[in-house]
Amino acid sequence: MWRMARKPPYDPAKRRELPIPKPIDAPRLEEMALAYVARFASSAGKLADYLKRKLRERGWEGEDGPDIAALVERFVQIGYVDDATYARSKAQGLLRRGYGARRIDQALGAAGIAEPLREESRGNGAERRRAAIVMARKRRFGPFGIGDKPDRALREKQVAAMLRAGHPLDHVRAVVNAVSEQALEEWVDEADD
């Protein structure tokens, strides 16, 4: 009869030690920053946060401390990092996915985008209304739902979900209470005027 071989018990003394990463020096810090902006769309704040995290993890090799602000500023001057472009791109992506202005503001704030750029990037009234419709269509809220008018409990859940997505209450009510998709299209057209 065939028997399975037993695995020896775990011995922590035989555990493989992970190599300790070398501390970062100035050229390596610049290489890391360059690799980061080459791979990811980034704001100046996100780049600075990334570099600070890497320094916390690995330490600094050198007499003077690292000048992260100068490195980030140089990348901004060169054009590797552009907060305005990042903010527009991120905000438009969130609008297309159905998120509201408040949620966009949170995402841009977390990326370190300044308030004037956040204000410009939130989209106009028609774009924000269209984002509310996108979310309602995806989640089958309001006129996109199946069957008759939803009961009160279901409508409250729909309203709460849209509020969490960052839409203002007046937009949420307009979408959830809409009688048809045509009425919603007219509602968006009102914002264009």
The C-alpha atoms of residue 115 and residue 155 are separated, in whole angstroms, by: 34
Buried b (16+ CB within 10 A) or exposed e, 120-141: ebbbeeebbbbbbbebbbebeb
Residue 24 pLDDT more than 80? yes
Mean pLDDT of 151-162: 91
| pLDDT value for 22 | 87
**Average model confidence (pLDDT) for the chain?**
90
For 118, other C-beta atoms within 10 Å of its C-beta total: 20
Residue 11 pLDDT more than 80? no
Q: Which residues contact 3 (CB under 8 A, 6 or more apart)?
A: none
Please tell me which residue, 145 or 77, carries the higher pLDDT value.
Answer: 77
| pLDDT value for 41 | 92
Q: Are 107 and 97 in contact (CB under 8 A)?
A: no
Mean pLDDT of 43-53: 96
pLDDT in tens, 55-76: 999 999 878 889 999 999 999 9
Where does the pLDDT of residue 2 fall: very low under 50, low under 70, confident under 90, or very high at 90 and above? low
Strand-pairing partners, residue 60, are 24
| pLDDT value for 1 | 57
Q: What φ, ψ does residue 89 adopt, rounded to 5°?
A: -65, -45
Q: Are 91 and 108 in contact (CB under 8 A)?
A: yes
pTM: 0.80
Mean pLDDT of 93-120: 94
H/E stretch holding 128 reads helix 125-139
**Would you put residue 178 in left (φ > 0), alpha (ψ -120 to 50) or beta?**
beta
